[in-house]
Amino acid sequence: AADISSDLTTVLYTEEQVHQRLAELATQIDEDYAGRDILLVGVLTGAVMVMADLSRALRSHCEMDWMAISSYGSGTQSSGVVRILKDLNTDIAGRHVLVVEDIIDTGLTLSYLVSNLRSREPASLEIMTMFRKPEAQSNQVEVKYVGFDIPNEFVVGYGLDYDGRYRNLTSVGTLAPHVYS
Ligand code: PRP
Ligand code: MN
Ligand code: MG
């Protein structure tokens, strides 16, 4: 079978660079949450890799829950429509919630999610994302933990997909043009 990594034209971040940065963020999160248990809320499906790696880099107690919320169809552009496909199993009232995302692009998904979660009255609510694109800044979402600010290009790997594929690439990069045609 063809090696999916050969569909990348550019590698932006290697697996090592991602893990190195996650270790730094985990240290910071452990300090910030000293003495408090964390409820990690992962946003399916993109955040599965970050969730798995961040949670294991933490030394703090943490629990995990998941929400499925989608603003994208099968293309590379946001549809502008946010839908909850699966809600949390946990009552987050009084909990210290840390939302875990793979990427913030327009910020649309998160601004919807944050106002939705805030109405459930968590003790605290913060956001961690592995990647953030420039447009996210304009969408008023305050993000406490950011792995990397990246250029406005369509990237895949480490949870990020194109039409559901390439999430399982360990590195993050841009796709060769032939993939889109
Ligand atoms: C992607 C990504 C973020 C969101 C960011 O998810 O994982 O959740 O888009 O985009 P935004 O800032 O413009 O809202 P997607 O909706 O593609 O679902 P997926 O995680 O299942 O791929
Ligand atoms: Mn997502
Ligand atoms: Mg997607």
Percent of the chain with pLDDT over 70: 94
Nearest protein Cα to ligand 1, atom 2: 103
Query: How far apart are the CA of 168 and the centre of ligand 2, in A?
Result: 14
Domain residue limits at 111: 15-153
CATH code: domain of residue 110 = 3.40.50.2020
Write out pLDDT tens, residues 45-73. Answer: 999 999 999 999 999 999 999 999 877 55
Asked whether the predicted pLDDT for residue 173 surpasses 80, the reply is: yes
Strands 96-104 and 38-44 come out as parallel
Residue 104 lies in a domain: yes
This prediction has a pTM of 0.94
Asked whether the predicted pLDDT for residue 170 surpasses 80, the reply is: yes
Helix, strand, coil % over all residues of the chain, rounded to 5: 30, 35, 35
Query: How far apart are the CA of 103 and the centre of ligand 1, in A?
Result: 7
Report the atom number in ligand 1 closest to the C-alpha of 78. Answer: 13
Q: Are 93 and 120 in contact (CB under 8 A)?
A: yes
Cα angle for residues 82, 85, 87 (degrees, 5° grid): 105
Active site residues: 105
- Ligand 1: lining residues by beta carbon, under 6 Å: 43-46, 70-72, 78, 101-109, 161
Query: How far apart are the CA of 37 and the centre of ligand 1, in A?
Result: 27
pLDDT (0 to 100) of residue 76: 62
Write out pLDDT tens, residues 26-36. Answer: 999 999 999 99
Asked whether the predicted pLDDT for residue 157 surpasses 60, the reply is: yes
Q: Are 146 and 132 in contact (CB under 8 A)?
A: yes
Report the atom number in ligand 1 closest to the C-alpha of 106. Answer: 13
Residue 168 lies in a domain: no
Tell me how many domains the chain contains: 1
- What span, in angstroms and rounded, lies between the C-alpha atoms of 109 and 69? 7
pLDDT (0 to 100) of residue 57: 98
Mutate to test the pocket of ligand 1, among 50, 109, 141 (most ligand atoms within 8 A of CB): 109
Nearest protein Cα to ligand 1, atom 3: 103
Token duo for residue 161: 């997909």
Give the residue from 119, 141, 139 showing the smallest Cα distance to 128. Answer: 141
Write out pLDDT tens, residues 81-98. Answer: 788 999 999 999 999 999
Residue 96 lies in a domain: yes
Residue 36 lies in a domain: yes
Residue 103 lies in a domain: yes
Residue 173 lies in a domain: no
